[in-house]
Amino acid sequence: MALEIKSIKGTADVLPSDSYKWQFVERLFLDTARLYGFNEIRIPTFEDKRLFIRSVGDTTDVVQKEMYSFTDQGGRELALRPEGTAGVNRAVIESGLINGALPVKLAYNLSCFRAEKPQAGRMREFHQLGMELFGSASPSADAEIISFVDHFFGVLGIKNVSLEINSIGCPHCRKNYHAALKAYFEERKEHLCETCLGRLEKNPLRILDCKNPECHEIAKDAPVVLDYLCDDCRAHFEGLKKRLDTLNISYTVNPRIVRGLDYYVRTVFEFVSGDLGAQSTICGGGRYDGLLGSLGGADQPGIGYAMGVERLLMVMKAQGIEIPAPASCDLYIGSMGEEASVKALGLAASLREEGFSAECDIIGRSVKAQMKYADKIGARYSMILGDNELAENKAKIKNMATGETSEVALDDETLTRFFYDAGIDDLSESIKDTLGGFTIE
């Protein structure tokens, strides 16, 4: 019978054949983040819907069309997070972090939800690695954030990613720009989509980000924000370019980037890959200086970005970057009969204690089936225990790759020694590394 209940369109399972790739990228991300002083924050999957309306903005596609919102049993209006910045901003206010030592530097790894049309590189549940930096208005913060992303791509071995930057000004200089945009679109009103007609009054900048082909075409010739920057915003943008030059990070200024979220001011940027097809942006970010204040927090500036893990892995695959697969089972212990099966379990347990991975038959299959399984899981070594082996307390251990066999005594110490001598990585070392100085009794 076919499975009746299927996964939801736009969601995906990550199976063991891929999950190690995710683990690799996620771990490397958080480790590299620590080099820059960013530590992980974890936030809830759903929030008060008003948080996103207020920060992402009520005229954005994300809020108007893509948000998974629902009313819970208590009548509260909630939404699954479409992105991470809003929740992290809320958390730094609520926790008081923003009133402590500045700058506050946070990194995250989270799932996001957007009701978009699923296609390659566009999911309804997707994953973002991102950072937020609070408490610095200086272009040095923008440069630090951007240089991290550049560094991280380098660590992963990703090539051919181009950085595009722009400044979309502050509320002060944007007034004139909005007026110019409004005048421009007003004249072409009859060609705009329904949503954009509403945006024309409330937030004409959003029309620049509309995905409707006709709106998109008209937007191509709209006035560009760079021509309207005030002196402070212009100086800030120049400051960023100077720092990127010093850091040897190449970029192009793309005056058409506005980003799809309302909280951005001044710097916006994207990292774009030629290996992604239509969904070419791996990473997008920018400055959001008024956001904390507007959510009721201290009036501190902020900047951040997020990159899509699905797209990151797609680029790595397209570029043939191999992610090291985890080592397979060190020893498969096959057995015949009740007594041997008990012995196998004991030996496996002692190997695991020492940090070597071991498996034995726990189904009660024939030896032939057991060996087939050992082969399938790619076990490095195998052995079979039967009455003879138990009687002599010795067994042949077979190197599955070479077919070579040697004899070992069936005691914990000899067996463990065998794996140390074979130069097999002892997993307990990496467990100890993870634990640091910590010991579990």
Q: Which stretch binds ligand ATP (CB under 6 A): 22-30, 123-131, 328-336, 368-376?
A: 123-131
Task: Name the closest residue to ligand ATP (Cβ).
Answer: 308
Please give the residues from 256 up to 285 whose contact with ligand ATP meets the rule CB under 6 A: 260, 279, 281-284
Shortest CA distance to 284 belongs to which of 108, 130, 66, 103? 130
Q: Which stretch binds ligand ATP (CB under 6 A): 169-177, 250-258, 292-300, 307-315?
A: 307-315
The torsion angles phi and psi of 331, rounded to 5 degrees, stand at: -140, 130
Report in angstroms how near the CB of residue 254 gets to ligand ATP at its nearest: 13
The only residue of 21, 90, 114, 199 in contact with ligand ATP, by rule CB under 6 A: 114
Report in angstroms how near the CB of residue 115 gets to ligand ATP at its nearest: 9
Contact letters (x/-) for ligand ATP, 221-260, by CB under 6 A? ---------------------------------------x
Q: Which is nearer to ligand ATP, 87 or 308 (CB)?
A: 308
The torsion angles phi and psi of 4, rounded to 5 degrees, stand at: -75, -40
How far apart, in whole angstroms, are the C-alpha atoms of residue 17 and residue 123?
20
Q: Which is nearer to ligand ATP, 279 or 428 (CB)?
A: 279
Report in angstroms how near the CB of residue 158 gets to ligand ATP at its nearest: 13
Q: Which is nearer to ligand ATP, 261 or 329 (CB)?
A: 261
The count of residues interacting with ligand ATP (CB under 6 A) is 19
User: Counting contacts by CB under 6 A, is residue 310 touching ligand ATP?
Assistant: yes
Contact letters (x/-) for ligand ATP, 59-88, by CB under 6 A? ------------------------x-----
Report in angstroms how near the CB of residue 213 gets to ligand ATP at its nearest: 15
Contact letters (x/-) for ligand ATP, 380-399, by CB under 6 A? --------------------
Q: Which is nearer to ligand ATP, 212 or 281 (CB)?
A: 281
Please give the residues from 139 up to 178 whose contact with ligand ATP meets the rule CB under 6 A: none
List residues binding ligand ATP (CB under 6 A).
83, 114, 116, 121-123, 126, 128, 260, 279, 281-284, 306-308, 310-311
